[in-house]
């Protein structure tokens, strides 16, 4: 595609982040009305992506990108097909409505600017995630959604429940992110592809790879945590601590679908295997049933919706993994339908909370006359959620039953699971949409009346879209459903379902679902009572398990730390030196690499003399009466070695050795006097014996290693390279110095960094031990 178009898409990728930078300032100047301006940003992106509709509907893809880290073959690239485009449109379209809604919902909140900033950042991350092509761009955006979600859930950071929920979401999705990274790396290793488009073009290479199972499990680890599949579902309901715009946007319409997106994206290369078609429906089906049952138990509108979201995600995973093209088509339809009706219902729940002061369904009733527009939006959305014609949810549900009903036992079982799940979701959808509005007017904490336009615009638009997209189903199929289903299935798929009911099994199953749903709606209070007593009887859930996991890790690391870091320096040094000795000796013995017995060296007499001096130094250390003498004797041995270096032609090394020996004697002596140790050494015999054997072991091991090194054939490549090039390339005659400052300059930069950090650390230690307190400056004193 043209270069300027590429530039525009890159701009689209970074625009939300730029918007996030100016949002707080804009909000400070304009207050809640800033929403009108900020919403233009996602609207522009929405229109930008609409421009791709034609090309993608014709079966084309749009791709582009830039080299990122060329030496590692990592690029920053994107790739838009039916799947990415539908997601991108959902993200930016619903994003526009959410920004407006947040403008009304958080009006007058002192941190509203920060909220806009967070939500735009999230939008950028999510949009990048769905159009990313290279694995690394995908991973970076994936992690960004986790981080921005953490910020949004913890937005109300003064409340402990918010902080806990934010941390929980971060831990669960963060662990999943690591799993995803590992999975992507395995795929890269197994197929040699590091972009999604390349992987999709590689056919069945991944399925045939020996590491297929590892890649699959790791990818599922990422997708299941992100999309809140049982048993990782618990973070999603807790994330309802976030302000409602966040719940509507992240935790129903977009972010939690990232896992489903990933599964759909990889379906052509990972799917069609027994493992895929077993694991996904089992986990998805379990999540669907668990989610709906837990939703029945709730009385908080948001929590009811949250658990049905968990259930819907389970349904999507189940359909994606079922393996038939119809099921894929059903998943696509349901995903689009769900984003619209669930986003709308969440916003309705927030609106009721905002206007009536509570969102407990048992404390609400009779709001229909006070909030007619909200009521209309709620009912429209609930019709779609319940799968009633002529709404988009109806198309999805018909297709679900078409797809699942294969006639064999497995299909029958999953159809049954879908039927129960859909029926309960029908009941809960209408409980959310009808209970607060119908019946007797109940006294609410706030006197309820219709909210401002900013608040009801979003839910009304989304709920109406659920009607329009279904009525003009041919258009929505042509532009959205068919391209997306084709991308997920990996082969061209044509969606044809329309709102006109066709007599058949699917319609019959739909009627059954509705009947079951109405029954459940009537009995919902009794069902709730049953679930409450059942859950109380179980008394444990993954949410509790998470707490136990966290406190268990803290306890375990505490116990380990007490053993390993007991604060005694002699233990540390003994352990370090034993480890050093073992690391040297064990491999040498195990691989039979012990050095041969060296022959007696033939040295001139003065070299013998210097060696003798070194040994005298050693003897002096051992015989020294007091510690100071021992330290100075250590210097004798060091100087002798330095002289040896000099004789053997390494003046630089020798020079350095002299200085280091001098300074270490000085510093050791200073430390000695400072620690106020007794002049003589009073270790008991047993301790001495241990120390002596450790020292001997270490010394012996090092000697063996050095012997072995000198006996190996010497590879002169590097030394010859340096000798030849020091003068030519680096203009220096002193090869050692040239190596340090030029050829291996990065090493040296790292080393001086270490020297400085070590200096700082020692300085801090000395200060602590001196026990000096800096006296606080006295008041009023000049």
Partner 1 sequence: MRTLIFRTVAPYLTSLMVLFSIFVLLRGHNEPGGGFIGGLIAASAFAIYGIACGVAPVRRSLYFHPMAISGAGLLISALSGLFSMMFGVPFLTGLWAKLEFGGLALDLSTVLFFDIGVYLVVVGSITSIALALEEREHA
Judged by the rule CB under 8 A, the positions of this chain that interact with partner 1 are 651-652, 655-656, 659-660, 662-663, 666-667, 670-671, 673-674, 730-734, 736-738, 740-742, 745-746, 748-749, 752-753, 755-756, 758-760, 762-763, 766-767, 770, 772
Cβ-contact 76, 137 below 8 angstroms:
yes
Q: Which is nearer to partner 1, 144 or 641 (CB)?
A: 641
Q: Which two tokens stand for residue 295?
A: 């939703």
Nearest approach in angstroms of CB 651 to partner 1 is: 4
CB of 696 to partner 1, least distance (A): 31
Contacts of 770 (CB under 8 A, 6+ apart): none
Choice between 442 and 736, CB closer to partner 1: 736
From first CA to last CA, the distance across the chain in angstroms is 72
Q: Are strands 62-69 and 74-80 parallel, antiparallel or unpaired?
A: antiparallel
> For partner 1, which is the closer residue by CB, 524 or 644?
644
Which of 84, 88, 83 lies closest to 485 in space, CA to CA?
Answer: 83
Between 574 and 664, CB nearer to partner 1: 664
Phi, psi of 211, deg, nearest 5: -90, 15
Q: Taking the complex as a whole, how short is the minimal distance between the CB of residue 755 and partner 1, in angstroms?
A: 5
Which helix (H) or strand (E) segment holds residue 79: the answer is strand 74-80
Closest approach of partner 1 to the CB of residue 571, in Å: 24
Q: How far is the CB of 737 from partner 1 (least distance, A)?
A: 4
Query: Residue 76 in contact with residue 134, Cβ under 8 Å?
Result: yes
Nearest approach, Cβ of residue 748 and partner 1 (Å): 6
Partners of 66 in the β-ladder: 76
Closest to partner 1 by CB, 620 vs 650, is 650
C-beta of 770 vs 779, nearer to partner 1: 770
Assigned token pair, 81: 């097909």
Nearer to partner 1, 29 or 755 (CB): 755
Beta bridge partners of 63: 79
Nearer to partner 1, 536 or 770 (CB): 770
Q: 306 or 631, CB closer to partner 1?
A: 631
Closer by beta carbon to partner 1, 754 or else 776: 754
CB of 212 to partner 1, least distance (A): 40
Smallest gap from Cβ 607 to partner 1, in A, equals 21
Nearest C-alpha neighbor of 540 from the set 769, 246, 249, 234: 234
Q: What is the DSSP string of 614-627?
A: HHHHHHHHHH-SBH
Residues 6+ apart with CB under 8 A from 389: 470, 499, 501
User: Quick one: which of 91, 87, 85, 93 has its CA closest to 56?
Assistant: 85
Residue spans of alpha helices (H) in 154-242: 160-191, 196-201, 205-208, 212-226, 235-238
Judge whether 349 and 375 are in contact, CB under 8 Å: no
Q: How far is the CB of 710 from partner 1 (least distance, A)?
A: 24
Residue closest to 82 by CA, chosen among 409, 336, 456: 336
Give min distance, CB of 678 to partner 1, in A. 17
Name the packing angle between helices 453-471 and 82-105 (round to 10°): 150
Q: Which is nearer to partner 1, 611 or 740 (CB)?
A: 740
Q: Closest separation between CB of residue 766 and partner 1, Å?
A: 4
Nearer to partner 1, 678 or 770 (CB): 770
- The answer to whether the CB of 353 falls within 8 A of the CB of 327 is no
In this complex, which beta carbon is closest to partner 1, that of residue 587 or of residue 753? Answer: 753
Report the candidate in 278, 277, 329, 336 with the shortest Cα–Cα distance to residue 312.
336
**What gap in Å lies between CA 408 and CA 399, rounded to an integer?**
18
CB of 760 to partner 1, least distance (A): 6
Rounded CA separation 120/25 (Å): 14
CA-nearest of 98, 115, 97, 95 to 26 is 115
Please report the DSSP string for 295-356 in residue order: HHH--BHHHHHHHHHHHHHHHHHHHHHH--HHHHHHHHHHHHHHHHHHHHHHHHHHHHHHHH
Bridge partner list, 76? 66
Q: Which is nearer to partner 1, 372 or 753 (CB)?
A: 753
Within 8 A by CB and 6+ apart from 26, the residues are: 34, 37, 38, 113, 116
* Min separation Cβ 729 and partner 1, Å: 8
Between 474 and 760, name the residue whose CB sits nearer to partner 1: 760
Q: Which long-range contacts (CB under 8 A, 24 or more apart) does 595-598 make?
A: 595/704, 595/707, 595/708, 595/711, 596/711, 598/707, 598/711
- Closer CB to partner 1, residue 74 or residue 741? 741
Nearer to partner 1 by C-beta: 593 or 724?
A: 724
3-state SS assignment for residue 602 = coil
Residues in the chain: 782
The CA distance from 635 to 688, in Å, is 22
389 DSSP assignment: T
Shortest approach of partner 1 to residue 291 CB, angstroms?
53
Structure tokens at 403: 């797809």
Question: If phi over 0 gives left and psi between -120 and 50 gives alpha, with beta otherwise, what is residue 503?
Answer: beta
CB burial of residue 745 (10 Å; 0-12, 13-18, 19+):
exposed
CB of 586 to partner 1, least distance (A): 34
CA gyration radius, the chain: 35
> 570 forms bridges with which residues in the sheet?
none
Dist CA 416 CA 347 (whole Å)? 31
In angstroms, give the least distance from the CB of 594 to partner 1: 35
Cβ distance to partner 1 smaller for residue 204 or 673: 673
State the minimum distance, in angstroms, from the CB of residue 738 to partner 1.
7
In whole angstroms, the minimum distance from the beta carbon of 567 to partner 1 comes to 21
């Amino acid at each position: 595609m043209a270069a300027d178009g590429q530039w525009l898409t890159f701009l689209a990728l970074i625009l939300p982040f730029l918007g996030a930078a100016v949002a707080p300032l804009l909000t400070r100047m304009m207050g809640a009305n800033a929403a009108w301006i900020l919403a233009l940003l996602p609207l522009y992106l929405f229109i930008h992506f609409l421009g791709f509709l034609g090309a993608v509907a014709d079966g084309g893809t749009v791709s582009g990108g830039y080299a990122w880290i060329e030496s590692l073959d990592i690029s920053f690239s994107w790739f838009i097909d039916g799947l990415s485009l539908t997601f991108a449109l959902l993200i930016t379209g619903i994003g526009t409505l959410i920004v407006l809604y947040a403008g009304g919902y958080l009006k007058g909140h002192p941190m509203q600017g920060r909220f806009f900033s967070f939500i735009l950042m999230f939008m950028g991350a999510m949009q990048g995630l769905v159009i990313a092509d290279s694995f690394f761009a995908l991973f970076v955006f994936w992690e960004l959604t986790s981080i921005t979600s953490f910020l949004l859930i913890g937005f109300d950071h003064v409340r402990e429940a918010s902080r806990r929920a934010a941390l929980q979401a971060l831990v669960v999705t963060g662990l999943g992110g690591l799993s995803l990274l590992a999975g992507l790396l395995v795929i890269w290793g197994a197929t040699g592809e590091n972009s999604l488009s390349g992987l999709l073009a590689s056919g069945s290479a991944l399925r045939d790879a020996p590491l297929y199972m590892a890649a699959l499990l790791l990818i599922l680890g990422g997708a299941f945590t992100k999309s809140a599949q049982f048993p990782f579902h618990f973070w999603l309901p807790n994330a309802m601590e976030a302000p409602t715009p966040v719940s509507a946007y992240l935790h129903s319409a977009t972010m939690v679908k990232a896992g489903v997106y990933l599964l759909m994206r990889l379906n052509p290369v990972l799917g069609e295997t027994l493992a895929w078609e077993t694991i996904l429906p089992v986990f998805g089906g379990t999540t669907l049933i668990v989610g709906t049952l837990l939703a029945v138990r709730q009385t908080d509108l948001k929590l009811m919706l949250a658990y049905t979201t968990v259930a819907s995600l389970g349904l999507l995973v189940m359909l994606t993994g079922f393996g038939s093209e119809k099921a894929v088509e059903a998943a696509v339809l349901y995903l689009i339908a769900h984003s619209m009706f669930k986003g709308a219902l969440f916003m309705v729940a927030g609106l009721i909370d905002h206007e009536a002061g509570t969102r407990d369904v048992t404390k609400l009733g009779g709001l229909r006359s006070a909030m007619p527009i909200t009521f209309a939006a709620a009912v429209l959305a609930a019709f779609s959620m319940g799968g009633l014609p002529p709404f988009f949810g109806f198309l999805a549900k018909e297709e679900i039953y078409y797809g699942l009903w294969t006639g064999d036992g497995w299909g029958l079982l999953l159809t049954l699971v879908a039927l129960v799940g859909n029926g309960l979701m029908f009941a809960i959808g209408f409980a959310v949409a009808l209970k607060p509005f119908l019946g007797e007017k109940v006294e609410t904490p706030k006197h309820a009346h219709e909210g401002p336009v900013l608040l009801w615009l979003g839910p009304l638009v989304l709920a109406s879209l659920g009607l329009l997209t279904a009525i003009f189903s041919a258009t929505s199929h042509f532009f959205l459903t068919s391209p997306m289903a084709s991308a997920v299935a990996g082969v061209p798929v044509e969606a044809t379902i329309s709102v006109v009911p066709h007599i058949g099994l699917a319609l019959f199953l739909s009627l059954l679902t509705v009947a079951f749903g109405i029954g459940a709606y009537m009995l919902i209070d009794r069902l709730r009572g049953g679930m409450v007593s059942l859950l109380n009887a179980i008394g444990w859930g993954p949410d509790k398990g998470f707490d136990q996991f966290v406190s268990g890790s803290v306890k375990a690391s505490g116990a380990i730390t007490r053993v390993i870091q007991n604060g005694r320096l002699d233990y540390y040094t003994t352990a370090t030196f034993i480890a050093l000795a073992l690391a040297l000796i064990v491999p040498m013995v195990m691989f039979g690499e012990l050095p041969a017995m060296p022959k007696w060296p033939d040295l001139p007499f003065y070299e013998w003399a210097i060696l003798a001096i070194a040994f005298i130094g050693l003897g002096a250390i051992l015989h020294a009466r007091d510690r100071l003498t021992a330290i100075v004797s250590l210097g004798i041995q060091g100087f002798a070695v330095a002289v040896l270096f000099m004789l053997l032609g390494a003046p630089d090394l020798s020079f350095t050795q002299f200085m280091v020996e001098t300074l270490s004697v000085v510093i050791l002596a200073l430390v000695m006097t400072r620690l106020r140790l007794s002049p003589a050494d009073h270790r008991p015999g047993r301790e001495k014996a241990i120390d002596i054997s450790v020292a001997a072991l270490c010394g012996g091991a090092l000697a063996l290693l050095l012997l072995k090194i000198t006996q190996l054939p010497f590879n002169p490549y590097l030394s010859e390279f340096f000798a030849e090039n020091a003068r030519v390339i680096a203009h220096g005659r002193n090869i050692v110095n040239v190596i340090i400052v030029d050829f291996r300059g990065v090493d040296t930069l790292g080393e001086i960094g270490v020297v400085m950090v070590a200096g700082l650390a020692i300085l801090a230690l000395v200060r602590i031990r001196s026990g000096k307190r800096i006296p606080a400056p006295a008041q009023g004193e000049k």
